[in-house]
Chain A
Amino acid sequence: MTEHRSDDALTSLLRAGDPAADDPGLDSRERALIRQRMLATSREGRRQMIGWLVPAATAMALLALALGLALRQPRTPLYEPVAERAPDAPASSIGQQIQFTTDSGILVVWVLQPRLSS
């Protein structure tokens, strides 16, 4: 009860001495100035962002173009097929080869025999 009363007294004291009680607030000139600065800052920020975005977007587009061109290049096997088919053999007699080179430089050739795969 006493605490409530002292809280009320404190509130009254604070309100009696409220620093903003008689203050009229920002006048129209101050308001206009702050508003103007705020909008100018916003515009400047937008301009800076655009100035940064255009080169970034151009660089990205060029990169995408270069990547697209690189992927379109026909892939050539690492080596020519190691086995040639005999002139009279059917076209599918050699089958497909998988060639790759290990880190130590050994060439590995897998020849996929069509007759074994069925």
Chain B
Amino acid sequence: MAQRDVQELKSVTIRFAGDSGDGMQLTGNRFTDTAALIGNDVATFPDYPAEIRAPAGSLPGVSGFQVQFSSRDIYTPGDAPDVLVAMNPAALQRNLKELVPGGALFVNEDAFTKSNLKLAGYEENPLEDGSLTDYRLFKVPMSTITLETVKPLGMGKKEGERCKNFFALGLLYFVYDRPLEPTMEWIEGKFGKSPDLVEANTAALKAGYNYGDTIEAFQTAYKVDKAQLAPGTYRSMNGNLATAYGMIVAAQKAGRPLFYGSYPITPASDILHELSRQRGFGVKTFQAEDEIAAMGSTIGAAFGGAIAVTGTSGPGVALKSEAIGLAIMAELPMVIVNVQRGGPSTGLPTKTEQADLFQAVLGRNGEAPLPVLASRSPDDCFDVAIEAVRMAVKYRTPVIMLSDGYIANGAEPWLVPDLDTIEPIEMDFLTREGLGDEPHLPYKRDEQTLARNWAIPGEPGLEHRVGGLEKDYLTGNVSYDPENHERMIQVRAEKVQRVAQDYGPLQVQGPDSGPLLILGWGSSYGAITSAGEFMREDGIPVANLSIRHLFPFHRELEATMRRYDKVLVPELNCGQLSHLLRAEYLIEVESLTKVRGLPFKVVEIIEKSKQLLSTEKAV
């Protein structure tokens, strides 16, 4: 093997794109794990079609997986790929415009057949008509070589060709100087029961690597060094898994069983799948007949004293709304997870959006406030899940936890927490004994939290009734009294306001006053944080802040915002947080919105920030 030049890169973004049957998600995940294992920081963005299997070779059938790996802390999967792997013409057609100029383009030239070109809308073969001269094009007969590789192993054409994603992966490992061993071990674990598949996929992986070595087209080895991450044990974590784990841990910290009532819906179903596998930790999942039943069963489980959670996406929350109102009225603790997707209606099921904020904060009949939290990154889902349960239990209220498709499926390295450091969750059930000689008043409240007394079925002597009709302030009996109703509306609202007394400090990055604060929530955290860091590195004094608590807001939020001349609020909707901030504080904010089913790019936030800063100077 010829000695290659080594070029150090800070970070590289690769997008794997192919037909939904080409195994691109698997390929991307393997590359990610390997990068993480050798110490890079990584962030990923799977982007797959809503159709399970659109016709092979068609544009709607293109599935993509983007990964950024880096020697520094990163918060996003990268704005635009430096490298595109296109397994067929449709994948090229769909993704080429994103590839940076001069970027590397690896194509499976075997797939550029007349019929595939036609399916992708190409009249001429782009590999031959000179239209790709702006890129470093590598035409690789991936199918042919893969087939030749696996043929001696007795594998047929159809099965053999399916190994070509491992060929592509091996090739990329060569180019970016990554080891094959982690993937080989994974193949062994995954296909161990079928030795044929282990052998074939391993052979294809090695063939890809060796192809890179042999053809000498890749004179430069690109090296991305280890990132400076905090010391500790890491694993790869995505948002849905982190949410599931957070809920299990919270239930264990509360010493109660976890109940998860849910109805399958993209992109939340993986939480149900994961929790269903964890009965060994006392998890009781219930796949309900519909979203309403999922919510109703969660209320029933909460009434019974379990840690009660339901998970869904926006359309499911719409169906659950009446029952969420019941939970507010009954003042029972539970968590509703909304993994947001593009809406309205069925919308864009597999794409991301942050457009359910109004629904979470405002979307119920009557005066029906509840706390709303949002996770900002895959690993943050773990912490938010625990905080949501803790808050729900302490204040006897349903809590909405917002996640979204981007962080639900995106992965990043996660410093595995020591569970012993997590505080227990006190259920504080009322018992006859604890009550002493006092009469049982089911709606009598704790002075500090305004949480009501809570006795669960099975506790002798504390039998009582709850329900959706307005309650008497103390007894909880049905009351139509006008003054009582107003008082109850106020006390429920005040109780929810009080959750803010437990919030940790706001964590602003950058100067603590100045010309511009970039204020975001949820998954736009990654792009906002990177934008802030990049600008500060260039000497631009911007600050950035991502808020977890969407309702009620942090008590320091207004004062913090007022320390900056301008506040920019980027969000993947038409300005919902901007609207709430203006309404709450009568404060002007600049809204940056995007509703394309795709996350923000760092550059979009930088551009808007610079624009605001330049008008600042001009005035």
Q: Do A and B bind?
A: no
Chain B positions within 8 Å of A, measured between CB atoms, are: none
Chain A positions within 8 Å of B, measured between CB atoms, are: none
